[in-house]
Structures are given as C-alpha cells and as structure tokens.
Chains A and B, each alone.
Chain A
C-alpha cells in the first residue's frame, strides 16, 4: 500500500489534507509537523509521495524539496501553497517539486492531484526500469550552429547517460557542463572560426562576428556532428565540427593566475575535469569524451565519506 507523508506545522491543515486523501483507496497516510520532522520520518520509512506546506519554522518546503531531490529523487513532492508563499513555491517547482495545490483549493484539487502525480510517477518508474535494461544505444545528430538546439541536445544526451545508469545526479550535471563546453567550442571556434582572442578585446565583437557568420558561407553551411554511444558501463561522445581544426597546445593555461582574467581555455579545462577521458583527433576538429560509471567500490567509498 503506497504511503503519503503530509508535512505541515498547522495541525488543522495537516489533518484536513489527510482527511481529504481518505477518499483514495489503499493509501497509508503519515504526518510530520515540519521539514525536520519529515526528514526523520523519511529516514525511517521512505514514503511514495510527500505533500508539504511551504512556510514552516524548522525546515521550510523549499529546503525540504532540495533535500528530497538530492537524497530521494524518485519520491514526488507536492506543495500546498497559501497566499504569500507563491514566490517560494515557484522556486520549489524549479527545484524539482512535482505539483502544487493552493490551500484554498485543497477540497477540490488535492485528491485528483495526488492521483495524477502517482500515475506519472508510476510511468516514470516503469520507464526508468526499462532504460536500465538498455544493453547498448547509439545516436547520431547533425545540427546547425544554433545555441537553442545545442542546449536541447545537451539535455537529451544528459538524460540518456542518466537513464542507462552511467551518471548519478551530480555526474549528470557534470556531464552536461562538459558537453555544453565541447559542443559550444565546435560551433564557435570550429565551424564559425571565431577566436577567443577577440573576446579578450571585447566580448561583444566576438558574439557579433559569430552572429554575422551564422548567415555567411562557408561558416553557415557547416554542421556539428555528434555521435553518442551508451552502455550501462560508459557513455562515449564524439563531437566533430567542419572547421579547419585547432591546436589546443596554443591555449593558455586558464588556471595560471596570470591568465585568470583571460577568457580562454576554461571550457577545455571543465571538459577534462568532468569527463574520464578526453582526446582530440590530429586536426583538432573532433573531440571524443568518455564518461564511465563509477565502480561500485568507488560508490561505496563515497557513500562512507558522505
């Protein structure tokens, strides 16, 4: 029987919400008096859903959502909002809460919202189980130098790496940063041939030139080709531009204090740090990056350290 944990420092609102959920069959309802009490109860027994007030004395709804996203990412959190807590509720939704119900509408909306969120969570869990059974996946993209397309591609690749189990949440983010840097480099420095040295003079000139070249052959005709292979053990990303290539040895060391004010080389540094392997072809217009799943031994050690 699924369990819902209702978190509210007002006993009236807590019991009211609980009472409204009795109309859903086979539901176990637990209560917590604030965010801190909720975390204690969740540690003892992880619920299938958390419904929380936003403004509470100990740990508020936003802080509770942040902890839940990190420690219990698959448990959906529904917010109960009241007048004056809208801003904090928006932040909580951005931070990963699943849905919200205004307190004045609890009678009409709470049970339906809980049903809907349960249905979506079931679907997500099913998809997640299926994705973890992928043995190998290979995708190929050829995209224009369009920063919105690049952002969407990064999200897609992050999701793939995460669903096959190569990345946990933190590594998913790190992988996204490295991919964003690599694909942006392929677009700006590779296909559009805009040099970072121009950015040292004036960043506006750098972006103006890039924009100009987006419509100017041969730059405008060049594509970014991305090949990604996923397995439960690793994700390999190969990003190739159609520019003349570059010699990465000419880049200044961005961590040298003398270069801190210069805008060059930081993307490559982040790629090298966040990926397990980064290598370029001889011409310098193709980079291959590998992200490996942490070994269970590493995970255990990190778990102990946490």
Chain B
C-alpha cells in the first residue's frame, strides 16, 4: 500500500483517528478521493463507531474538507457512532463556525480530549 498523503489513520482502541497531513484544497484529484475511500473502508471493515479527526496540520481549509468530513460523519452516524474534531487552526475553527458544523461536530483542543469525547 502506498504512503498516505492527506489522511493518515491510527487505531486508538475502538476509535479510528484520522490525522490530516496537510491542506485539502480540493477533492478533485483521483488520489485524494482514493484516500478518502480507503479511510471509509477502514472505518467500515474495522467496525469503528468512533472517529476523531485531527486537524493540526490543516492550517486552513474550505468546503472540500468539510465535504470529506461530512461524508465520514454520515458513515459513522449510519452505525450509531460519534465523531469529534480537534486541533483546528484559528481560521479552521472560523470555517467550521461559519458553516455551523461546530453545532454538530464537537470541536476540542487536543486529541486526548477528542478521544474522551467520542468514548462517552
């Protein structure tokens, strides 16, 4: 399997952590979509009901990343699971607030806090 460029996954017990490795400016590239599909497969096949998205390396993002998170959120919600986001930059937090996703996706300051949030 080739090394991920944008979405690195880490298993933390029952939780799947998706670490952003950089800025996702568009989902138009085949490789980006392919990586997103690989995360979805891992989520499904691993039976994970809890998902943490670590945004530390995404210094900024727009609707493309929101769309990718929305897709993963739909997948995890479909099996009654939970999602939490952590380590958003100031502008990233602003984008989430403008799109009102901060109302539905818990947004916390650290990965440890996000893991606690989805484990409840």
Contact = CB atoms under 8 A, between A and B. Distances in A.
Contacts of A261: 70, 74
Given A174-B91, A184-B26, A260-B100, 19 more contacts: A94-B57, A147-B25, A148-B29, A150-B26, A170-B91, A173-B91, A177-B60, A181-B62, A203-B27, A203-B71, A204-B37, A207-B27, A255-B99, A255-B100, A260-B101, A266-B62, A270-B62, A270-B95, A270-B99
B71 A147 contact: no
Contacts of B91: 170, 173-174, 177
A61 to B, nearest CB: 15
Contacts of B63: 181, 263, 266-267, 270
A31 to B, nearest CB: 30
26 contacts: A94-B57, A147-B25, A150-B25, A154-B25, A170-B90, A174-B94, A180-B62, A181-B62, A181-B63, A184-B28, A184-B64, A207-B27, A207-B28, A207-B33, A254-B100, A255-B98, A255-B99, A255-B100, A260-B101, A263-B63, A266-B62, A266-B63, A266-B66, A266-B99, A267-B62, A270-B98
Contacts of B71: 203
A27 interface: no
Nearest to A270: B62
B25 A180 contact: yes
B7 to A, nearest CB: 15
Nearest to B28: A147
Q: For the complex, would chain A's binding face be called helix, strand, loop or mixed by DSSP majority?
A: helix
Q: How large is the interface on B (under 10, 10 to 19, 20 to 34, 35 or more residues)?
A: 20 to 34
Closest 10 CB pairs of A and B: A147-B28, A266-B63, A177-B62, A173-B60, A267-B63, A173-B91, A147-B26, A255-B100, A273-B98, A151-B25
A177 B90 CA distance: 13
Interface in B47-79: 57, 59-64, 66-67, 70-71, 74
A266 B30 CA distance: 22
B104 interface: yes
A211 B99 CA distance: 27
Contacts of A91: 57
Contact of B28 (A173, A210, A257, A270): A210
A177 B29 contact: no
Contacts of A270: 62-63, 95, 98-99
A210 B91 CA distance: 29
Interface string B16-38: 00000010011111100100010
B103 interface: yes
B58 to A, nearest CB: 11
Most buried by B among A170, A177, A204, A261: A177
Contacts of A150: 25-26
Chain B at the A interface: mostly helix, strand, loop or mixed? helix
Nearest to A147: B28
A97 B19 CA distance: 21
Nearest to A199: B67
B111 to A, nearest CB: 14
Contact of B99 (A180, A199, A254): A254
Nearest to B97: A273
A202 B95 CA distance: 24
Contacts of A177: 60-62, 91, 95
Interface in A168-214: 170, 173-174, 176-177, 180-181, 184, 188, 199, 203-204, 207, 210-211
A269 interface: yes
B69 to A, nearest CB: 11
A223 to B, nearest CB: 17
Contacts of B94: 174
A211 to B, nearest CB: 7
